[in-house]
Copies of this chain bind each other. A is one copy, B any other.
Amino acid sequence: MQYPEAIGRLIESFTKLPGIGPKTAIRLAFHVLDMEEDDVLTFAKALVSAKRDIKYCTVCGHITDVDPCAICTDSHRDETVVCVVQDSRDVIAMEKMREYRGKYHVLHGAISPMEGIGPEDINVSSLLTRLQENEAISEVILATNPNIEGEATSMYLSRLLKPTGIRVTRLAHGLPVGGDLEYADEVTLSRAMEGRREL
């Protein structure tokens, strides 16, 4: 005997989500049976509306429900600085810091020759158009991830942008705050030495 069809389909849908295996999918599906009907309806509507109403901002590529997004249209933000990140989640992380008041540009990925992802597969051309059209931009901060793909993307962008005369900067590498020197890996430690500053 298999599961009744309605719950079988739900288990299948849960299994398609990342990091959710068959056992977890079954547990989640059975949990749904025990949920209030209103909560299930809210969940179903949230799924559809997230997919239908959320678009990517045509200016910066960040997720948004209005186009251009709230950050791009915010006149209180500094439009001379653009921070380039790999993902919309990185924008949220930067915004949590509450210190950066410039604009963003979301690449939606990083250059990765291993996976066959080249510069044309990420949101680079719109960054160039943006820099050409908006002469106010004087600095591009490269905030891609501190790993191989992120570094390669940063390197590529810095070479591409240097000739335009715009200032190109990269987030500092070094010891994470609250970390332990003893447990820092060699590369991080060597970057922290390189980037040491006078007190």
Contacts and interface: CB of A to CB of B under 8 A. Distances in A.
Contact of A13 (B29, B42, B51, B87): B42
A51 to B, nearest CB: 4
Given A43-B13, A47-B40, A48-B40, A53 B6 contact: yes
A54 interface: yes
Nearest to A5: B65
Interface in A67-92: 70-71, 87-89, 91-92
Interface in A7-49: 7, 9-10, 12-13, 16-19, 24, 26-33, 35, 37, 39-49
A181 interface: no
Nearest to A1: B95
A52 interface: yes
Interface residues of A toward B: which range? 35 or more
Contacts of A30: 87-89
B33 A44 contact: no
Interface in A112-146: none
B44 A44 contact: yes
A63 interface: yes
Contact of A47 (B3, B44, B92): B44
A50 interface: yes
A1 B71 contact: yes
